[in-house]
Amino acid sequence: MGRFHRHADGTVHAHDHDHPGHVHDHADDDHGDHSGYATASERIQVLERIFDENDAAADANRRSLDAAGVVAINLMSSPGSGKTAVLERTLAELRGRIRAGVIEGDIETGLDAERLSGLDAPVTQINTAAGWGGECHLDAPMVAGALHRLELDGLELLFIENVGNLVCPAEFDVGAHHRVMICSVTEGEDKPLKYPVMFRAVELVLINKLDLLPHLDYDLALFEHNLAEVNPDATVLRVSARTGEGLEQWYGWLLDLLRAAPTPA
């Protein structure tokens, strides 16, 4: 089917650039040029149904979480940014202070779930290659299945560690209450400009791997400027999962979420 994308107004379109001689100009067509396909309208209808069904499942997930009094965070990033390292340190530091659980998303393997074991937090694995076609993101139906494997009544906070990808995870509501992303200093200052859908979708950005700054040609102020161009409302925290620098602010942000969460009926 090719890449697809949903706009803020809910409209969707696909990106297909594999047909020779076709030039796609977004300035002229906000919904994508599908003239190279006889099934263009059918493709859009399928995409709309996919998103509609996903959003209905996401709403059901949120209702289940709300009923149990659980705050859920969709944690997103590119591969290798340090999502699991941040999560590992967070679970260790907040052990005994909050009751947290994890849904771990990957295309293959349970390596990250194994890494998080032993931290007094239940972890359930989603492998998108196992019956889901190897998707590059989690969606609401996948998360619904994982929620049934967790004792939600025993949790306060749920981390949903999404598949490492800066595109599709931002487009699929999984039923979380908050969206957070991690972007490491090794990824370059231009990522907010190159992947604006992701950076617009989140309320908090953790800039990770600060301990590597002395070894990199990286302009931290430029990254934050580019982020502000795309999402001026995002909170930004500078952290290092390796040294712990800045993570107290992250822990405080999480605890504030729990304090502000409504009491379940």
Question: 63 pLDDT band (50/70/90 cuts)?
Answer: very high
Q: Which residue has the tokens 């263009």?
A: 40
- HSE of 10 in the Cβ direction (CA atoms, 13 Å)? 7
Domain boundaries, the chain: 50-260
pLDDT (mean) for 149-174: 96
Q: Which fold has domain 50-260?
A: Rossmann fold (3.40.50)
> Whats the size of the chain, residue-wise?
265
Res. 61: pLDDT tops 80: yes
Q: Report the C-alpha gap between 182 and 129 in whole angstroms.
A: 24
Q: Report the C-alpha gap between 119 and 41 in whole angstroms.
A: 49
pLDDT above 90 coverage of the chain, percent: 75
Give the residue, 49 or 93, on which the prediction is more confident: 93
- Give per-residue pLDDT as tens, 34-45: 556 566 677 677
Q: Given this model, what pLDDT does residue 1 score? A: 37
- Give per-residue pLDDT as tens, 127-143: 998 776 678 899 999 99
Question: 115 pLDDT band (50/70/90 cuts)?
Answer: very high
Q: Where are the alpha helices (DSSP H) in 19-178?
A: 40-68, 83-94, 111-116, 140-147
